[in-house]
């Protein structure tokens, strides 16, 4: 099929790589810079192949903006046989949840249960001709119509937002309408969770994905996927969850002192593990610790509980959790049960092996938790190898072999494309004589870094973002008085700021200009676009290595044992991606210009992944880049 745009540099090569992977049934891992056209280059040959071979495409994203980009490119392709739909979960598409404050914040599982129960009541009321109580009028309207509105049916390519808009105007359920559209779409654009969560993956059969070997998988912003897969397989149990489970027993159950005693005992064990195995530090990311093998089990045995008892409690908590959820449903409440959460954790605990690290975590100092951190992303990602072919794309996948190995992708091809934008439009510099290494970060070093930042910000009137390795480090520089010496308008991403407040601050920065102080690896450095002159300089303070937490050390040890590449995979890979993500914020289009400065001599270690050079005279070289500005 014809490419909808005039091909830019490297786009033909990207499409050839995708077409080759599809024809050979391979897993393609493709790195190409932001703005290079990865989305259209992956979709165009995939749509062509899917139509010719009667296959479907599952396009996975992390964010709604990525869904919208895919929809735009599919419309640009403009093939008559092509149909596509954006899909979002019930939690995002339930109008009842929007209208009822009690339902807001419900998890996908909770909203799913609520929805299922209300649908049954609605169908029963309609068939019996009786009054509908605690049903859903939006589902009722769609059920009685027995078809989708004409404007939905006619639209070959439709976004999730458009489904929501049409559904609201007709008073029908957006989620159920979305499901009907998904069943017949050639391309389905959905969140990661629908493939990698085992429970939700069953929904794919409802969508018509009966056999993945007749489907093509495309993963957008794929650098997020390994940690996402580890996270989704990591069960947790917190002191607060146990306390709320005790409250549920008091409110909904009688005579279950044994369950209360068990929850109290588990809470005491968690607190004991925290006091014994966490060495608290200023940086909350360090606030975890290894639990030695057998220690939790030994504490449980002190309560005269064996494995059979734990299995019994797991089953009992889940059963009583179902009772609580049923009761809440009848009361018109969100079907949430903390008893069920305790049971699910205990049940998972029984089947874990050396691929999980037993951790005690207390990020806030107020709610410690047990966490069984999954070290092997391939447990959740193994489903990828069942597809006919898969395309994994991002601007920050280096080192590509780590991505392949973490997900255990078979028959994989690794390819990286250079930036298509003029080299003279971007420069990356690093400085010697400066380091944020813990052993060297004394008051003298802080002052030296501070002087560099102040000099850059006051010498150039460009919109500048300064990314610190952590909020603790940012706050340390704020305490040192740096802000008062910068003669520019200052904007700060505050720790724990709401999304609304953060976006208000970002919009002020974009419109008014100045200096934005933020944290690398956070919402600004990895999730926001700053085209044209909205961001022209990026300063990275230090090398954003993951903190040497128990979690990260466990990952390093696991990768050493499995691949012999523990440091590279557990520390070097995520650090490289964080730096590339932050730098990539400022070059989004061919005409954009920007300069990045890494204030740490250790940056030289990353020259194999990031094209940079040492600055001999930092201010002079920045000035030369801007043409004496």
pLDDT at site 458: 95
pLDDT at site 204: 83
Domain 11-103+144-225+378-416 has CATH 3.40.50.300: yes
Tokens at 618, concatenated: 């930092």
Count CB neighbours of 275 within 10 A: 11
Is 281:362 a contact under the CB 8 Å cutoff?
Answer: no
Count CB neighbours of 515 within 10 A: 24
Q: Which CATH class is domain 423-625?
A: alpha beta
461-506, pLDDT tens digit by residue? 999 999 998 888 899 899 888 889 999 999 999 888 887 888 888 9
Gap between the terminal Cα atoms of the chain:
47
pLDDT at site 284: 46
pLDDT at site 498: 83
pTM (predicted TM-score): 0.91
101-138, pLDDT tens digit by residue? 777 777 878 888 888 888 888 998 888 887 777 788 99
In the DSSP assignment, the letter for residue 432 is: S
What secondary structure does DSSP assign to 344-410, as a single string? HHHHHHHT--TTEEEEEE-SSSS--EEEEEE--THHHHGGGGGSSEEEEEES---SHHHHHHHHT-S
569-600 CB burial, b ≥16 within 10 A, e <16: bbbbbbbbbbbbbbbbbbbbeeebbbbbbbbb
- State the CATH architecture for 236-351: Orthogonal Bundle (1.10)
Residue from 585, 463, 600 nearest 525 by CA: 585
Going edge to edge, which strands form the sheet with 84-86?
Answer: 157-158, 84-86, 187-191, 56-61, 215-219, 389-394, 27-31, 412-416
Average pLDDT along the chain, 629 residues, taken 10 residues at a time:
83 96 98 89 96 96 84 91 90 82 78 86 86 85 88 90 92 92 94 89 83 95 94 96 96 90 95 90 69 90 87 94 90 90 92 92 90 96 97 94 96 93 90 90 91 95 93 88 91 85 90 92 80 91 91 95 95 93 83 93 93 94 84
Residue from 245, 239, 370 nearest 313 by CA: 245
Residue range(s) in the chain whose domain bears CATH number 1.10.275.40: 236-351
Torsion of CA 416, 422, 424, 427, to 10 degrees: -40
pLDDT at site 80: 85
- Report the distance separating Cα 435 and Cα 412, nearest Å: 38
Residue range(s) in the chain whose domain bears CATH number 3.40.50.300: 11-103+144-225+378-416, 423-625
């Amino acid at each position: 099929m014809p490419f909808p745009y005039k091909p830019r540099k490297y786009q033909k090569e990207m499409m050839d790589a995708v077409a080759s992977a599809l024809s050979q049934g391979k897993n393609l891992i493709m790195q190409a810079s932001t703005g290079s056209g990865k989305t259209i280059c992956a979709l165009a040959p995939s749509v062509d192949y899917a139509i010719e071979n009667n296959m479907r495409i599952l396009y996975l994203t992390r964010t709604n903006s990525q869904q919208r980009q895919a929809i735009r490119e599919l419309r640009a392709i403009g093939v008559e046989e092509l149909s596509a739909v954006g899909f979002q979960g019930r939690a995002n598409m339930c109008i009842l949840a929007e209208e009822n404050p009690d339902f807001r914040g419900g998890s996908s599982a909770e909203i799913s249960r609520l929805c299922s129960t209300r649908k049954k009541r609605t169908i029963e009321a309609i068939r019996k001709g009786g009054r509908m109580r605690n049903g859903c009028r939006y589902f009722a309207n769609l059920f009685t119509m027995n078809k989708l509105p004409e404007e939905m049916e006619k639209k070959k390519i439709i976004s999730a937002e458009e489904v929501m808009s049409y559904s609201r105007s007709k008073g029908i359920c957006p989620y159920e309408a979305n499901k009907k559209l998904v069943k017949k779409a050639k391309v389905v654009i959905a969140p990661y969770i629908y493939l990698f969560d085992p429970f939700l993956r069953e929904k794919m059969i409802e969508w018509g994905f009966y056999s993945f070997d007749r489907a093509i998988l495309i993963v957008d912003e794929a650098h997020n996927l390994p940690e996402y897969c580890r996270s989704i397989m990591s069960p947790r149990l917190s002191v607060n969850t146990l306390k709320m489970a005790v409250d549920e027993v008091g409110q909904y159950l009688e005579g279950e002192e044994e369950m209360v005693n068990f929850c109290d005992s588990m809470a005491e064990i968690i607190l004991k593990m925290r006091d014994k195995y966490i060495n608290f530090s200023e940086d909350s990311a360090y606030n975890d610790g290894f639990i030695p093998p057998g220690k939790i089990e030994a504490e449980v045995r002190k309560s005269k509980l064996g494995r059979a008892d734990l299995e019994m409690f797991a089953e009992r908590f889940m059963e009583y959790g179902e009772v609580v959820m049923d009761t809440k449903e009848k009361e018109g409440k969100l079907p949430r049960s903390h008893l069920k959460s305790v049971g699910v954790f205990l049940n998972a605990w029984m089947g874990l092996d050396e691929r999980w690290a037993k951790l005690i975590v207390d990020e806030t100092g107020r709610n410690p938790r047990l966490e069984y951190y999954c070290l092997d992303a391939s447990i959740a990602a193994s489903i990828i190898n069942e597809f006919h072919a898969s395309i994994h794309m991002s601007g920050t996948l280096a080192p590509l072999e780590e991505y392949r190995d973490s997900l255990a992708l078979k028959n994989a091809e690794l390819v990286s494309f250079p930036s298509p934008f003029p080299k003279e439009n971007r420069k990356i510099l690093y400085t010697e004589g400066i380091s944020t290494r813990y052993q060297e970060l004394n008051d003298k070093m802080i002052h030296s870094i501070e002087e560099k930042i102040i000099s850059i910000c006051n010498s150039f009137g460009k919109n500048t973002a300064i990314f610190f390795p952590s909020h603790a480090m940012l706050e340390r520089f704020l305490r040192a008085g740096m802000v008062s010496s910068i003669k520019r308008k200052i904007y700060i991403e505050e720790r724990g700021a709401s999304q609304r407040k953060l976006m208000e601050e970002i919009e002020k920065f974009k419109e008014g200009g100045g200096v934005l102080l933020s944290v690398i690896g956070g919402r600004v450095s990895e999730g926001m676009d700053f085209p044209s002159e909205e961001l022209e300089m990026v300063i990275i303070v230090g090398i954003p290595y993951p903190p040497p937490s128990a979690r990260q050390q466990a990952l390093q040890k696991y990768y050493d044992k499995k691949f012999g590449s523990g440091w590279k995979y557990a520390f070097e890979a995520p650090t490289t991606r964080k730096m590339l993500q932050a730098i990539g914020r400022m070059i989004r289009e061919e005409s954009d210009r920007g300069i990045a400065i890494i204030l740490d001599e250790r940056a030289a270690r990353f020259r194999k992944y990031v094209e940079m050079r040492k600055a001999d005279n930092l201010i002079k070289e920045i000035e030369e880049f801007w043409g004496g500005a």
